[in-house]
Amino acid sequence: MLVKTGLLVTSNPNRLGIILPQIKHEIESILYIQVLNALREPFGNFYPNMFSSWPKLSHIIKGIYTQAAKHCQNLDVRVLLSGLKYKNKLIYTEREVELVIFDEKYASDEVQKFLSTKLVNISKDYKILTCANIAAEPISADLEQKNDKVYQHTVLGGTFDRLHLAHKLLLSEAALRSNSKITVGVTEENMIKSKILWELIEPLETRMSTVENFLKDICPELNISVVSIEDPFGPTQHDPTIDLLVVSKETIRGGEKVNEVRKSKGLPLLDLVAVDLIDEPAQNPHEEKKISSNTQRMRLLGTLLKPVKQNLNLPKRPYVIGLTGGIATGKSNIAKRLQELGAYVIDCDKIAHGV
């Protein structure tokens, strides 16, 4: 039986390419991932000689989300950062953990001690799964990273429609680089109408709530502010406390424009950190190479977005549907499907040809 929420405790993220395909069918909704050397070691002690600052962990976080994109896009994967950034003694999760997965075999008393003393929100009927004896390459890191600074107040912005793995990578980068506050600007309706299938974009309130929930889940120690923005600059054009702007590699020009505006207003310039995009592992024709909300919305076409509700107020006379469209847009297929469901079809093309 599927559980709604699982927690994977991994001592080597390079094993995930093998582990994720094994466990994805065990979990229905959320998979938390906690990186930890060993159960007996304290949090915040993940290869300290290699990852001497929080931003150096970015390479590991991207690797995890990239593997998640390849093997379990159906799951809401969340890499927990508190245990990496701070020497917390406990693992906090918003959702109750029902399945705990280990990538190494530990002694039963060690496992029980870990579960009883480290996990705050664990189901009383929890299950344990061990994926042991899995080969993996040594841990690697982007030690050539030019900027591993940590900032007081980081900011980023976007539409954040149907929060996906690339969004999570951006938000995680902002969380790793902040020791105090994150501000996230979420675009209002006036800024989304140029996007592909913008009509399918989630309501503003939903997008803001999803971003806030994710950040509070992965790093609740931070002061998190999620605000709506009606222009590309948002709070960066007036807030002097912001010192870092996180962007994607494709939006770095927008970050430079932000600094132009701040300079014109006498505000200190922001450092810019550009995050690499995650490739879409199952790209179809006409879809973007990167993981994107545009692709997600395109894939929604032809699916049921809301449950069908019975309308008891329909008139008793025949319900007339007008079906129109250009050449090769699927009218015949839709008409055939409606006919299979019991509708009577009048083909006006055939009637016109017979006149």
**In this predicted model, what pLDDT tens digit does every residue of 290-341 receive, in sequence order?**
999 999 999 998 888 888 888 888 777 777 888 888 887 888 889 899 899 8
Question: 35 and 106: one domain?
Answer: yes
Q: What is the pLDDT of residue 85?
A: 82
Q: What is the pLDDT of residue 49?
A: 47
Question: 263 and 346: one domain?
Answer: no
Name the residue among 157, 297, 312 with its Cα closest to residue 237.
157
Q: Where does a domain end: 101, 130, 159?
A: 130
**In this predicted model, what pLDDT tens digit does every residue of 190-235 receive, in sequence order?**
999 999 999 999 999 999 999 999 999 999 999 999 999 999 999 9
- With respect to residue 39, please indicate whether it lies within any of the assigned structural domains: yes
Question: 179 and 234: one domain?
Answer: yes
Q: What is the pLDDT of residue 42?
A: 58
Question: 267 and 206: one domain?
Answer: yes
Question: 242 and 168: one domain?
Answer: yes
Q: What is the CATH number of the domain that holds 222?
A: 3.40.50.620
- With respect to residue 298, please indicate whether it lies within any of the assigned structural domains: no
CB 92 within 8 A of CB 121: yes
Q: Is the pTM of this model over 0.75?
A: yes
**Alpha carbon distance 266, 97 (integer Å):** 49
- With respect to residue 292, please indicate whether it lies within any of the assigned structural domains: no
- With respect to residue 16, please indicate whether it lies within any of the assigned structural domains: yes
Side-by-side strand order, sheet with 27-35: 76-79, 27-35, 3-10, 97-102, 122-130
When mean pLDDT is compared across 64-73, 103-112, 302-311, the lowest value belongs to 302-311
Question: 108 and 205: one domain?
Answer: no
**Alpha carbon distance 191, 173 (integer Å):** 24
- With respect to residue 239, please indicate whether it lies within any of the assigned structural domains: yes
Question: 39 and 83: one domain?
Answer: yes
Question: 345 and 261: one domain?
Answer: no
- With respect to residue 24, please indicate whether it lies within any of the assigned structural domains: yes
**Alpha carbon distance 339, 355 (integer Å):** 24
CB 194 within 8 A of CB 215: no
CB 297 within 8 A of CB 172: no
CA–CA distances in Å: residue 80 to residues 3, 9, 129, 159: 19, 10, 19, 23
Q: What is the DSSP string of 270-337?
A: PEEEEEPPPB-TTPPTTS-SB--HHHHHHHHTTS--S-----TT--SSPPP-----STTSSHHHHHHH
**In this predicted model, what pLDDT tens digit does every residue of 150-184 receive, in sequence order?**
999 999 999 999 999 999 999 999 999 999 999 99
Which has more confidence, 138 or 249?
Answer: 249
Q: Where does a domain end: 130, 162, 186?
A: 130
Question: 265 and 340: one domain?
Answer: no
- With respect to residue 135, please indicate whether it lies within any of the assigned structural domains: no
**Alpha carbon distance 10, 30 (integer Å):** 16
Q: Report which residue type is found at 178.
A: S
Q: Tell me the two tokens of residue 8.
A: 């994977």
Q: What is the CATH number of the domain that holds 119?
A: 3.40.50
Question: 65 and 183: one domain?
Answer: no
Question: 200 and 264: one domain?
Answer: yes
Q: What is the pLDDT of residue 140?
A: 56
Number of folded domains that form the chain: 3
Backbone angles phi, psi at 117, to 5 degrees: -110, -15
Residues with Cβ within 8 Å of residue 85, at least 6 apart in sequence: 44, 54, 175, 176, 219, 221
**In this predicted model, what pLDDT tens digit does every residue of 2-58 receive, in sequence order?**
999 999 999 888 889 999 999 999 999 999 999 887 676 655 554 554 455 677 788
pLDDT at 252 over 50: yes
Mean local confidence (pLDDT), 113-130: 93
- With respect to residue 60, please indicate whether it lies within any of the assigned structural domains: yes
**Mean pLDDT score of the chain:** 89
CA–CA distances in Å: residue 114 to residues 10, 59, 117, 267, 309: 14, 27, 5, 48, 47
Structural domain range at position 55: 3-130
Question: 183 and 244: one domain?
Answer: yes
